[in-house]
Chain A
Amino acid sequence: MTQTSEFAVELRDVVKTFKTPEGTLLNAVDHVNMQIKHGEFFSMLGSSGCGKTTSLRMMAGFEWPTEGDVYIEGNAQGHTPPFQRPVNTVFQSYALFQHMTIYQNIAFGLEMERAPADEVKTRVGRLLDMVQLNGMERRYPKQLSGGQQQRVALARALVKMPNVLLLDEPLGALDLKLRKEMQLELKAIQQKVGITFVYVTHDQEEALTMSDRIAVMSKGKVMQVGIPVEIYERPQSRFVADFIGESNFFEGIVQSVEQDRATVLVPSLKAEVTGLNTGQVGVGQKAIISIRPEKIRISEQPALKTNFFNGTVKTTTYIGSDTHVYVDMGGGVTLKVWEQNKISSLDPRAYYVQGQKVCLNLFPENTLILAES
């Protein structure tokens, strides 16, 4: 692989406009900039209609940008057809050629390159090894299970050793257990071959598990790009904090800023909350406080000198590893708190019960102050 450019794939100010059935124009992808590095496992994460698949299809060449351009290895792609791009795709539906055997399917791409017959044989053989489908060469796609078909689709795209492999929700059709296995296997294969993977998914856990970096997308725009820890621990907007995992939110006005901390007056709590000023807000500005349920310390007596709030347990849900506690803070505010069940006990008194008075401790280093978006 020749690395002529800094990025494997780059989207520069890309817009893709579609005509809706009602005749209005819709920007499925709206001024997106994205830089994907060499050898990276990069995920585009978002709910359906966020523009992630359209972005991927523009990289593959199935769609052309309305504005801006896609750069692969530094080369502007313009209207380059798919068969002239150094990328290959794993389709959500696998799109295996039903009238060809597994061998013929995997060999198809090499045949198009007019590779010599013996080279085709060795390369297909190597890929069959990699995806553990030895002995299946002569079968037809319909004779394989979903998981096996998925592997064939992967092998068929990888056999060409593309600069970039594009994957469109490739695990979407598999059951949960198989999906988890394939997640790890995909990641292992990516590390082995060292090819840049661009992965589209709506499953946040999948994205967090596999990716080096994640782009969270919504309504055709990129909301945030970062490594999984950043996306989860330092969301830059309420949208990202809400979309990835769960979070409690309050709105308020910034009262004071001191180094990396900010203090916000929250009308609904009738109190001030201090947290990390990750949103770089200034005094007098509106801010959003975000704290994840597992980061709230629940106790009977305050564990902090400030930043603790009293409430009453509204409901609790035992889910095995955790107990989810919903606490009524008064004024119509309910906070969710995930409490890990560290002690094995059958005694109901070991858990918080409905109506119990509790104290919620919001550690400032776990409490994020975001700018209002």
Chain B
Amino acid sequence: MAGLELLSDQGYRLDGRKATELRKFQARMGPFAQADGSAYLEQGNTKALAVVYGPHEMRGSRSRALHDRAVINCQYSMATFSTAERKRRPHGDRKSTEMSLHLKQTFEAAVMTQLYPRSQIDIYVKILQSDGGNYSVCVNAATLAVIDAGIPMRDYVCACTVGFVDETPLADLCYAEESGGVSSLALALLPRGGQIALLQMDARLHQDHLETLMEAAMTACKGVSKVLDEVVRQHLREASMLTRE
């Protein structure tokens, strides 16, 4: 039988979006009071929770401390109930270690770590429900959490996955698209300056297509940044209303 048709002739994707459209965003900043910063983000059916502690003194082995900037410590995990099959996910499996490392690299590029020498910033991200684009949703959620914690960053870090189907780049892939044999690329971008914080692609793609795909990823990331900006401003408005009273 024929597989799924990822992009119809009329230009609609499986879930009814057009090629460049992102999924619906829903976000809340500061759901937890105890942490220094926190955020909850839904991008379609992918839901992530990010929590930030710090900057604080080095915990554990002090020898890891850097004399000129802060150390960023990231931990990524997936809830047992996050996928269709309930699965216990032990800490430190290969996939989540790799993801943690990617997050760390992304935020080292964005957070102004030189302001906090010899200290540590912890970022914990948990995927509550997974429906494609886990990495990008984590980055976006963590950005909101870092902002919530009041840690200075160079810019928002916005991430998005894009895939390539029938010579057309698709933005913000859902799980069905990701698993449908599409070559996908994840990009984390500092949108104002256009610097790339992280770029990851595991699939094969002909180099001729790379440029169009990057172009699409950049546009999508800029779209994400608009949404995040709106979320932060909305949050600030609400917070200032409260403090004024």
- A and B bound? no
Residues of A with Cβ closer than 8 Å to B? none
